[in-house]
């Protein structure tokens, strides 16, 4: 389908609902912020992976909360689905419309207010469309740091990060996005505005609506502003890349590092196949000049230099095969490139089928072995290859299966069910940090009980009774 399907006409004599909707949207945000031309819509219709492609009836770009409310009132009146979209870096297909051409994409890119950092409380109020990198610069200028960090920092927005409850590389020290959100402003499908931005650390006045919206993936409300906790910027930091004989040895070693390096901020793992891939796509140098089976990238930070502490802890690790320590920004960035380029390298040879999962840490080595074997056993005419890397400190494994790009839907579903079933068998979660989106929607029952899913449906029914917010995402149909 190349054009949006028209909405049904209204009462005889009324202008068609389509024209009414577009007129209301133009009145809400100004004509230049209602994009209907295919070229203007295109970047908003395909997700970062390129796997999820749809058609938007229009892309609207509100600048302030009142405009978001007017957009939602107009879409509610027309029964038009709304897809909230931030930086469009999501990896589960939740940020783009379906192919029906009925949905309006509500882009938060112009919701960019950035209040001064409140140094006394260590908090900041920020528009949902502000990118993580912009917020990081803003916080650092005031001597603070944003507790959550991730590779898509230049494009991912704080609204999207809250809506997905993003994790990233510092969860072992600071927790996920939900833990940083102390207040929220959001617009419901009705156009009603929830505003609770005072940032009171003590505020026991009923339900935690901000927490509820974290991880809601645009299905309950459009987040317009957030009150976020910051942490003091730590001036001294050191990273180390440690080579190991396998994943099991790394998990054991991580226990010692956690105990002996209080400033530990990150513990990220990858394996040789990932290094080979990143090197082949980006030409990165081999970190040790010789191959090793597995790698752990750790970073520690403090008010005093943590290098000696980290070096002493590494010294005590029997199974480390090689170690490279980097204490300046440039060598640290070089080590981080090896880890953070995994996603782009896989996309370059893919697209891969992405399974972002978590399992209890002690069982992680057995899980990754089982997953790699399972995927291999499911190979058909074309071999399937299972890459894995992730946030070891959080038990978060990113399984990426190559070889399914052109496979028929039923073959892909077979692999999805087998892999995610294996996760459930290992006591894990089918989504660690990316969310459910469209990708994992059929499999939510593997991680949530019928009673929990009934609770989800009741919440959805109460807050979005007509179901216009991001239909087809997160909630089982
Ligand atoms: P989008 O992709 O635009 O949207 C994501 C979801 O949130 C959609 O369901 C959308 O409808 C909803 N949404 C967006 N904005 C709002 C809003 N204001 N109100 C309500 N709903 C909204 N994720 C991690 O957790 N950890 C990582 O380490 C990580 N690394 C990444 C690295 C790369 C290279 C890439 C491409 C992605 C990575 N991601 C990671 C995934 C992605 O960056 C996160 O999910 C991020 O939180 C999405 O933010 P966004 O602004 O791009 O949201
Ligand atoms: C990461 O940790 O690099 C991201 O979550 C992206 C990915 O899973 O590819
Ligand atoms: Zn990740």
Mean pLDDT, rounded, for 448-460: 98
Give, as one character, the DSSP assignment of residue 191: S
Which one of the ligands is nearest to 167 CA? 1
pLDDT of 8 above 70: no
pLDDT for 16 equals 73
**Gap between the Cα atoms of 416 and 422, Å rounded:** 10
C-alpha gyration radius of the chain: 23
**CA of 340, closest atom in ligand 2:** 3
**CA of 169, closest atom in ligand 2:** 2
* 116-155 pLDDT per residue, tens: 999 999 999 999 999 999 999 999 999 999 999 999 999 9
- With a pLDDT cut of 90, the percent of the chain lying above it is 95
pLDDT of 219 above 90: yes
**DSSP states of 93-130:** S-SS--TTS-PEEEE-TT---BPPPBTTTTEEEEETT-
**To which residue do tokens 């901020």 refer?**
265
Contact 189, 440 (CB under 8 A): no
pLDDT of 5 above 60: no
Best residue for ligand 2 mutational test, from 166, 269, 356 (most atoms within 8 Å of Cβ): 356
**Gap between the Cα atoms of 314 and 203, Å rounded:** 43
pLDDT of 423 above 80: yes
Residues recorded for the chain? 477
**Gap between the Cα atoms of 349 and 342, Å rounded:** 11
151 lines ligand 2 (CB under 6 A): yes
User: How many Å lie between the centroid of ligand 2 and the Cα of residue 341?
Assistant: 9
pLDDT for 380 equals 83
Which residue's CA lies nearest to atom 21 of ligand 1? 218
Mean pLDDT, rounded, for 34-47: 97
Distances in Å between the alpha carbon of 84 and those of 1, 95, 220, 265, 414?
A: 22, 7, 10, 32, 30
pLDDT for 382 equals 80
**Gap between the Cα atoms of 308 and 341, Å rounded:** 29
Mean pLDDT, rounded, for 374-394: 95
Cβ burial of 304 (10 Å; 0-12, 13-18, 19+) is exposed
For the chain, give the mean pLDDT: 95
356 lines ligand 2 (CB under 6 A): yes
Q: Which residues of 253-270 are buried (b: 16+ CB within 10 A; e: fewer)?
A: bbeebeeebebbbbbbbb
164 lines ligand 2 (CB under 6 A): no
pLDDT of 3 above 60: no
**Gap between the Cα atoms of 249 and 69, Å rounded:** 53
- CA nearest neighbour of 371 among 440, 422, 446: 422
| SS3 label, residue 422 | helix
398 lines ligand 2 (CB under 6 A): yes
- CA nearest neighbour of 157 among 197, 124, 199, 109: 109
User: How many Å lie between the centroid of ligand 2 and the Cα of residue 398?
Assistant: 7
pLDDT for 60 equals 98
Tell me the two tokens of residue 76.
Answer: 């509610």
**Gap between the Cα atoms of 183 and 162, Å rounded:** 11
447 lines ligand 2 (CB under 6 A): no
132 lines ligand 1 (CB under 6 A): no
156 lines ligand 1 (CB under 6 A): yes
Sign of CA dihedral 19, 21, 27, 30: negative
Mean pLDDT, rounded, for 55-59: 97
Neighbours of 162 (CB within 10 A): 28
- Residue 10's pLDDT band (cuts 50, 70, 90): very low
**Gap between the Cα atoms of 227 and 125, Å rounded:** 4
pLDDT for 18 equals 83
Give, as one character, the DSSP assignment of residue 476: -
Give, as one character, the DSSP assignment of residue 441: G
**To which residue do tokens 């956690």 refer?**
258
Q: What are phi and psi of 97, to 5 degrees?
A: -75, 165
Name 461's Cβ contacts closer than 8 Å, sequence gap at least 6: none
Mean pLDDT, rounded, for 60-73: 98
- Helix axis angle, 17-29 relative to 65-78, nearest 10°? 180
- Residue 12's pLDDT band (cuts 50, 70, 90): very low
**CA of 155, closest atom in ligand 1:** 52
**CA of 216, closest atom in ligand 1:** 21
- Residue 14's pLDDT band (cuts 50, 70, 90): low
136 lines ligand 2 (CB under 6 A): no
pLDDT of 304 above 90: yes
- CA nearest neighbour of 434 among 474, 472, 402: 474
Which residue's CA lies nearest to atom 6 of ligand 2? 343
Cα dihedral 60, 134, 143, 126 in deg (nearest 10):
0
351 lines ligand 2 (CB under 6 A): no
């Amino acid at each position: 389908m190349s054009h949006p399907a028209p909405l049904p006409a209204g009462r005889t004599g009324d202008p068609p609902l389509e024209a009414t909707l577009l007129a209301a949207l133009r009145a809400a945000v100004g004509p230049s912020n209602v994009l209907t031309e295919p070229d203007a819509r295109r970047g908003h219709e395909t997700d970062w992976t390129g796997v999820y492609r749809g058609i938007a009836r229009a892309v609207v770009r509100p600048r302030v909360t009142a405009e978001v409310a007017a957009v939602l009132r107009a879409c509610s009146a027309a029964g038009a689905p709304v897809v909230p979209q931030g930086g469009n870096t999501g990896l589960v297909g939740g940020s783009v419309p379906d192919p029906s051409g009925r949905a309006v994409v509500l882009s938060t890119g112009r919701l960019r207010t950035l209040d001064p950092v409140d140094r006394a409380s260590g908090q900041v109020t920020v528009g949902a469309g502000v990118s993580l990198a912009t917020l990081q610069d803003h916080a650092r200028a005031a001597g603070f740091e944003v507790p959550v960090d991730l590779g898509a920092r230049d494009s991912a927005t704080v609204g999207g990060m809250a809506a997905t409850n993003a994790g990233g590389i510092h969860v072992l020290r600071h927790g996920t996005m939900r833990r940083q959100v102390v207040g929220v402003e959001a617009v419901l499908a009705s156009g009603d505005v929830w505003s609770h931005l005072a940032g009171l650390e003590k505020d026991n006045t009923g339900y935690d609506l901000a927490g509820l919206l974290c991880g809601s993936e645009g299905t309950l409300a459009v987040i317009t502003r957030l009150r976020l906790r910051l942490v003091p910027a730590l001036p001294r930091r050191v990273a180390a890349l440690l080579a190991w004989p396998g994943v099991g040895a790394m998990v054991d070693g991580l226990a010692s590092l956690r105990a002996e390096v209080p400033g530990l901020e990150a513990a990220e793992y990858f394996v040789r196949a990932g290094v080979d891939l990143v090197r082949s796509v980006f030409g990165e140098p081999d970190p040790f000049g010789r191959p090793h089976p597995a790698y752990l990238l750790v970073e520690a930070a403090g008010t005093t230099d943590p290098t000696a502490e980290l070096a002493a802890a590494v010294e005590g690790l029997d199974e480390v095969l090689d170690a490279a320590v980097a204490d300046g920004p440039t060598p640290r960035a070089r080590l981080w490139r090896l880890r953070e380029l995994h996603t782009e390298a896989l996309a370059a040879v893919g697209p891969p089928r992405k399974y972002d999962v978590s399992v209890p840490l002690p069982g992680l080595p057995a899980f990754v072995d089982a997953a790699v074997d399972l995927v291999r056993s499911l190979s058909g005419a074309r071999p399937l290859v299972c890459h894995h890397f992730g946030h070891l400190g959080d038990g978060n494994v990113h399984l990426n299966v190559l070889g399914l790009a052109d496979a028929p839907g039923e073959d892909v579903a077979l692999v999805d069910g087998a892999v995610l079933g294996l996760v459930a068998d290992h006591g894990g979660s089918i989504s660690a940090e990316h969310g459910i989106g469209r990708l994992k929607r059929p499999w939510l029952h593997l991680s949530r009980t019928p009673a929990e899913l009934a609770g989800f449906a009741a919440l959805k029914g109460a807050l979005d009774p007509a179901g216009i917010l991001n239909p087809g995402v997160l909630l089982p149909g």
